[in-house]
Amino acid sequence: MFPVRTGLIIWVSDVKAARNLEKYGSLHYISRKMHYAVLYVNAEFAEETMKNIKRLPYVKKIERSYRNELKTEFSGQFEEKTRFYGM
């Protein structure tokens, strides 16, 4: 139903020019202080999109997000310890 998306963290030298990344996918966030942008693209076209983005003059480095690969389901095998640390 929904396409599988993957995140790309793109380190840029010019934050104003980073707004042009919208044409490659969904631009989620731009950090003005740390000079990076978070872009979500379709997973099946991610490699091709990365090649096109690397050619841009203001792009320093591209990293792939590991969020899809992390386990987000947790088992309840550990007992809850919050009652011991309460006031």
Fold of 5-67: Alpha-Beta Plaits (3.30.70)
Contact 56, 18 (CB under 8 A): no
Residue appearing with tokens 């929904």? 2
Strand partners, 10: 37, 62
pLDDT per residue as tens digits for the range 1-13: 788 999 999 999 9
For the chain, the domains span: 5-67
Averaged over 49-71, what is the pLDDT?
93
Higher pLDDT, 75 or 32: 32
Tell me what the pLDDT averaged over the chain comes to.
90
At residue 68, the pLDDT reads: 80
pLDDT per residue as tens digits for the range 19-50: 999 999 999 999 999 999 999 999 999 999 99
52-69 burial code (b ≥16 CB/10 A, e <16): ebeeeebbeebeeeeeee
